A and B are shown apart, each in its own frame.
Chain A
Amino acid sequence: MIHQHTKSPVLEVHDLTVSYHKKPVLWSVDFTLPSGILAGIIGPNGAGKSTLIKAIMGLLPISAGYVKMFDQNIDQIRPRVSYVPQRESVDWDFPTNAIDVVLMGRYHQIGMFKSPRKADIDAAMEALKQVKMEGFAHRQIAQLSGGQQQRVFLARALAQDADLYFMDEPFAGVDAATEATIIEVLRKMVTQGKTIIVVHHDLQSVKAYFDWVLLLNMHLVASGPTAKVFTEELLQKTYGGKLSLLSKIGDLVQRQEFPNREQTLGL
């Protein structure tokens, strides 16, 4: 079993267990990531890939375990961390345009109750330019293609100017040109020392895209450099479907309203 850990990691996930409606969907996920890499989270449908990054971002309650980034709690260093949700998670018929969506990435810099300053608009335009969308800044978002919407989301993340990025399926349902643009942007960010963790679906492109791979199927099958982890044998383990026992136990826990961890006295 390969679980390669790193010294002074950017991200440390320790024995993380997550439940959805009281049903455990991730079991004791434990890994560390070095900085300046592009990492892919790979696994079948329902493996808990999106759940994992949401839990790491503190967007879902954690049943057990902890997460540290830059050796701190997420809430202490949120400006250094960026999250790109799945494209389908929002209503693209919302009455707003591309640049206003990108400006949302600047809300931290702008501060509460204040309007975007010239510098924020410049930063948003610059981010749009990086994803080759500067010509669409004032286009209503419903009129953008799926690939263009995904690039707007990426631009919003760029505008945040973070050090650690989590992206949920940025390559899902995009055209070839968008995929090329996105991977180019991500590669460039990595050379600037940023760390990027991407939930990914397409096994074909894993070797070409990622330096580091996490194989996930309700538990962490393996994590480490792509060459070591992305092997026939480990993929078999990830996609092999021998985990029905885990999901059966999860169903039981949910149905009987069991606590995820027994209460420990004295703690």
Chain B
Amino acid sequence: MNDFIDFIFLTNSNVRNVVIGIVLICCSAAIVGCFTFLRKRALLGDAVAHATLPGVCMGFLLSGSKNPFFILIGAFATGLLSIYAVDYITRNSKIKADTSLALVLTSFFGVGILLLTAIQHSGNAAQGGLDGFLFGKVAALMSNDLWVFGITAIVVIIISFVFFKEFLLISFDPTFAKSIGMPVVAIEFLLTTITVLAVVIGIQAVGVILMAAMLITPAATARFWTDKLKTMIAIAILFSVVSGIGGAYISYVTPTLPTGPCMVILMSSIALISFLAAPRKGLLAKLKLQHDNRNRILEENILKALFQMGENTHNYESYISKLDISEKRIFNKGQLKNGLKRLQRKGYLQQKNQQWKLTTQGKNKGQRITRLHRLWEMYLTTYLQLSPDHVHDDAETIEHIITPEIEEKLTEILGYPTVDPHQMKIPYSE
């Protein structure tokens, strides 16, 4: 509990540094990640992250210490180089983008691991902790080097906002951007540069292997919740910072757990929850919509069956049993029972001794579905020249979809027909 209070109120200066560092790193990664995601360059982000490892090692070799400047510059150089390598291979050979990404990612990462292993076995005392770049190490942020990463993150964030409009346009429609004379190559270079910078500082916390998760997952997750770019960026930042601080906290109270994986697992959990539960775009919302549609179709089919039975007998007032309804139209027994119950609750049916009859509203609705069915059959035979024995099944579905506006248009272009292709009367409401 004390740990939690210490953490929350940032009483410990180390903790304060970590939290500030994580917030800045997560913000910058989430913002540039949104553009990476929208430009469909998610895998490129992953390649860049892996490609920074040889740079980190070279920075170390050149400076002979874990000097943040050298490491940052080294990581930046090889990260940027990897993007141009992918681009060059794709443009000048028959190799497609996905393959050249795989080639570049593995080659750079291979060199990185080689260098890292060599350094670890070199007996250089300063190398301790360099392997933290694989999975991230929060301790890196406790050091006095924090300000180097902090300033870089702030620069990335400021550039994203200053060039927001330009980044938006080259992400949405780069051809048009070129056509209005925007320096597209320069702006793409700038966006690429800050993306690599965000990756370079992000690997301090998350490590090169998992960095792509902090770049892409917040953006992809935020997209579930909104259709507006600015809102999307805000949500991405929120999710990213929450999982960043959460991951740092877990790793703070349980020092054996590495920060990077904790952050990524939290971020992935938020992504999973969004995938399932986001309004409209989530899986549950879609399943619910399908479920509601099935219920609606069932209910409308019951009302239609009862209406047509009344049509045949010219009597809508007598109560009808489930068995009789099933004779008119085949229903699944359990579904029929539930459907009848719901229709009664909604006031479309009246029940007496397990027998049902239509209320005025129920009759109107059953009549409308019958009308739409027959109108659609008319439309198909008249305008699509289908023969009358081929139109029933289609109308069975379409009758549930047609809106009042379409109905109006349909009757108008058909000239208010009185009978359908099977010579059944089309019932209009009085």
Write the residues of chain A forming the contact surface with B, with a CB cutoff of 8 angstroms. 54, 57-59, 75, 78-79, 81-83, 85, 89-91, 94-97, 100-101, 104-105, 107-108, 110, 112-116, 140, 142, 156, 160
Is residue B154 within 8 Å, beta carbon to beta carbon, of the partner chain?
Answer: no
Of the candidates A54, A96, A140, which one forms a contact with B168 in the assembled complex, judged by CB atoms under 8 Å apart?
Answer: A96
Of the candidates A57, A95, A108, which one forms a contact with B226 in the assembled complex, judged by CB atoms under 8 Å apart?
Answer: A95
In the complex, what's the smallest C-beta–C-beta distance from B114 to chain A, in angstroms? 36
Of the candidates A108, A110, A115, A142, which one forms a contact with B181 in the assembled complex, judged by CB atoms under 8 Å apart?
Answer: A108
- Beta-carbon contacts under 8 Å, B174-201 to A: 175-176, 178-182
| A95 & B228 in contact (Cβ 8 Å cutoff) | yes
Q: Given A96-B168, A112-B166, A113-B162, is A78 in contact with B180 using a C-beta cutoff of 8 Å?
A: yes
How many residues belonging to B are interface residues under a CB distance threshold of 8 Å?
Answer: 24
In the complex, what's the smallest C-beta–C-beta distance from A75 to chain B, in angstroms? 7
| B166 & A83 in contact (Cβ 8 Å cutoff) | no
Of the candidates A59, A107, A110, A115, which one forms a contact with B175 in the assembled complex, judged by CB atoms under 8 Å apart?
Answer: A59
In the complex, what's the smallest C-beta–C-beta distance from A213 to chain B, in angstroms? 24
State A87–B206 Cα separation when bound (angstroms): 40
Is residue B227 within 8 Å, beta carbon to beta carbon, of the partner chain?
Answer: yes
| B181 & A78 in contact (Cβ 8 Å cutoff) | yes
* Residue of A57, A107, A113 with most partner-chain B CB within 10 A: A107
Is residue B50 within 8 Å, beta carbon to beta carbon, of the partner chain?
Answer: no
Query: Which chain B residue lies CB-closest to A90?
Result: B173
Residue numbers in B under 8 Å from A115 (CB-CB): 165
State A96–B226 Cα separation when bound (angstroms): 10
Q: Given A57-B179, A78-B181, A94-B38, is A140 in contact with B227 using a C-beta cutoff of 8 Å?
A: yes
| B175 & A101 in contact (Cβ 8 Å cutoff) | no
State A107–B165 Cα separation when bound (angstroms): 8
Is residue B10 within 8 Å, beta carbon to beta carbon, of the partner chain?
Answer: no
- Beta-carbon contacts under 8 Å, B112-156 to A: none
* Residue of A58, A94, A108 with most partner-chain B CB within 10 A: A94
| A108 & B180 in contact (Cβ 8 Å cutoff) | yes
12 A-B contacts, Cβ less than 8 Å apart? A57-B179, A83-B180, A85-B179, A89-B173, A95-B226, A95-B227, A96-B228, A107-B169, A108-B180, A113-B165, A114-B165, A140-B227
Residue numbers in A under 8 Å from B179 (CB-CB): 57, 59, 78, 81-83, 85
State A82–B180 Cα separation when bound (angstroms): 7
Residue numbers in A under 8 Å from B181 (CB-CB): 75, 78-79, 108
| A90 & B182 in contact (Cβ 8 Å cutoff) | no
State A150–B229 Cα separation when bound (angstroms): 21
In the complex, what's the smallest C-beta–C-beta distance from B175 to chain A, in angstroms? 5
Is residue B267 within 8 Å, beta carbon to beta carbon, of the partner chain?
Answer: no
Q: Given A85-B175, A90-B173, A113-B162, is A160 in contact with B227 using a C-beta cutoff of 8 Å?
A: no
State A115–B168 Cα separation when bound (angstroms): 12
User: What is the total of A-B residue contacts with beta carbons within 8 Å?
Assistant: 76
State A85–B176 Cα separation when bound (angstroms): 7
State A180–B261 Cα separation when bound (angstroms): 57
State A75–B176 Cα separation when bound (angstroms): 14
Residue numbers in B under 8 Å from A110 (CB-CB): 165
Residue numbers in B under 8 Å from A54 (CB-CB): 175
Residue numbers in A under 8 Å from B229 (CB-CB): 94-96
Q: Given A94-B38, A112-B166, A115-B165, is A85 in contact with B173 using a C-beta cutoff of 8 Å?
A: yes
Query: Which chain A residue lies CB-closest to B171?
Result: A94
Residue numbers in A under 8 Å from B428 (CB-CB): none
In the complex, what's the smallest C-beta–C-beta distance from A161 to chain B, in angstroms? 12
| B178 & A104 in contact (Cβ 8 Å cutoff) | no
| B227 & A83 in contact (Cβ 8 Å cutoff) | no
Residue numbers in A under 8 Å from B162 (CB-CB): 113
Residue numbers in A under 8 Å from B178 (CB-CB): 57-59
Is residue B27 within 8 Å, beta carbon to beta carbon, of the partner chain?
Answer: no
Residue numbers in A under 8 Å from B175 (CB-CB): 54, 59, 83, 85, 89
Query: Which chain B residue lies CB-closest to A81?
Result: B179
Is residue B163 within 8 Å, beta carbon to beta carbon, of the partner chain?
Answer: yes
Is residue B232 within 8 Å, beta carbon to beta carbon, of the partner chain?
Answer: yes
In the complex, what's the smallest C-beta–C-beta distance from A14 to chain B, in angstroms? 21
In the complex, what's the smallest C-beta–C-beta distance from B86 to chain A, in angstroms? 18
Residue numbers in B under 8 Å from A94 (CB-CB): 38, 171-172, 229
State A219–B108 Cα separation when bound (angstroms): 46
| A90 & B172 in contact (Cβ 8 Å cutoff) | yes
Query: Which chain A residue lies CB-closest to B34?
Result: A95
State A100–B169 Cα separation when bound (angstroms): 10
Residue numbers in A under 8 Å from B66 (CB-CB): none
State A95–B39 Cα separation when bound (angstroms): 12
Query: Which chain B residue lies CB-closest to A86?
Result: B175
- Beta-carbon contacts under 8 Å, B228-276 to A: 228-229, 232
Of the candidates B38, B176, B223, which one forms a contact with A104 in the assembled complex, judged by CB atoms under 8 Å apart?
Answer: B176
| A95 & B176 in contact (Cβ 8 Å cutoff) | no
Residue numbers in B under 8 Å from A78 (CB-CB): 179-181
Query: Which chain A residue lies CB-closest to B183?
Result: A112
State A142–B172 Cα separation when bound (angstroms): 13
Query: Which chain A residue lies CB-closest to B231?
Result: A95
| B180 & A107 in contact (Cβ 8 Å cutoff) | yes
State A58–B181 Cα separation when bound (angstroms): 10
State A110–B163 Cα separation when bound (angstroms): 13
Residue numbers in A under 8 Å from B228 (CB-CB): 95-97, 140
Query: Which chain A residue lies CB-closest to B227?
Result: A140
State A81–B180 Cα separation when bound (angstroms): 8
State A54–B178 Cα separation when bound (angstroms): 11
Query: Which chain B residue lies CB-closest to A104?
Result: B169
In the complex, what's the smallest C-beta–C-beta distance from B244 to chain A, in angstroms? 23
State A116–B168 Cα separation when bound (angstroms): 13
Query: Which chain B residue lies CB-closest to A57?
Result: B179
- Beta-carbon contacts under 8 Å, B214-232 to A: 223, 226-229, 232
* Residue of B162, B165, B168, B176 with most partner-chain A CB within 10 A: B176
In the complex, what's the smallest C-beta–C-beta distance from A212 to chain B, in angstroms? 22
Query: Which chain B residue lies CB-closest to A108?
Result: B180
| A95 & B180 in contact (Cβ 8 Å cutoff) | no
